[in-house]
Structure 1
């Protein structure tokens, strides 16, 4: 039998679920595509543009055939283009101008959901929440093995990744070196 769930854990689970539902709906509307497509557009826009199909597949946690079908759909919709990869066997995936616009809509929809969820917190409460969430994320990263990347929908400048402030990147650096 599993350990009983704490009140905090239960509320966190409910919050995570409602925010996930709202972000998925907003991202899908913003992209005009599924949640996986929205994540692909976001990842390509933030840190993967020009990556190989295999790299995109790993970030999204998809099978090879699932990634091919997703990229086929995005290409048919004019959101991505395929190009040559680093070798003759690989293909790169690059956002088109329409894909960049769709990715910006995905980011805007995600930001709106998250900022709406935080709107009733005072600045000092938000700072405390940021510190606590960083600790929670460090534990999640420490325990996570494989699957989709945590940051596939992140706004990297918002987390301060380039300045070394991202709790997920810090935890990953501690875990993987």
Structure 2
């Protein structure tokens, strides 16, 4: 049953990206840049979204051509710094809000008690997923899909308050 839930949510969230005129990877890149790579490099973005450097360069070119991000010379003169434009920020926030609404819509039939239980179960699953991704990184590989938190709203997960289960697990 969990597989069906995951598949249904994935399909719904892919639709969110499509309604924004983007593919899921481009949507993830914009949202990741809101908080995890505000003035990041192509390399950092590549790690966050889990695609190759050359694939990230092509994605950056498409997003720049669409007016979603701008590039400037990096601090060392060899790298490129990426920043979301106003349009990119607005689009990323819209994707994040639509994602939140999509997830909320799937929870409407749950009682408060069930939501609390689901939250605890999700925290345990995030702990397991984080440990597996850290092991993949220690082995020298990039986890499929990139960073687990690439689409997160840090306020919703409690990262600023130290409540993010992925950050807690990663911190040891």
Using the size of structure 1 for normalisation, the TM-score is 0.89
**Is 2:155 the partner of 1:157?**
yes
1:47: Cα distance to partner? Answer: 2.2
How many residues get paired? Answer: 163
Once the two structures are superposed, the pairs formed by residues 86-101 of structure 1 within 5 Å of their partners are 86-101=75-90
Q: Which runs of 5+ in 2 are unaligned?
A: 137-141
More helix by share: 1
8 Å Cα contact 1:27/1:105 also seen in 2: no
1:27: Cα distance to partner? Answer: 2.3
Q: Which structure is larger by alpha-carbon Rg, 1 or 2?
A: 1
Deviation per CA, 1:19-72, whole angstroms, max 9, x where unpaired?
Answer: 011111112312x21111100000011221110111001111111110000000
The DSSP-based 3-state class of the residue aligned with 2:150 is helix
Q: Which runs of 5+ in 1 are unaligned?
A: 1-10
Q: Which runs of 4+ in 1 moved over 2 A?
A: none
Q: Cα distance 1:173–1:28, how it changes in 2: closer, same or farther (>3 A)? A: farther
8 Å Cα contact 1:27/1:109 also seen in 2: no
Deviation per CA, 1:111-150, whole angstroms, max 9, x where unpaired?
Answer: 1110001111122221111011101111111122232000
* Aligned mate of 1:65, from 54, 59, 63: 54
- Counterpart in 1 of 2:92? 103
Using the size of structure 2 for normalisation, the TM-score is 0.91
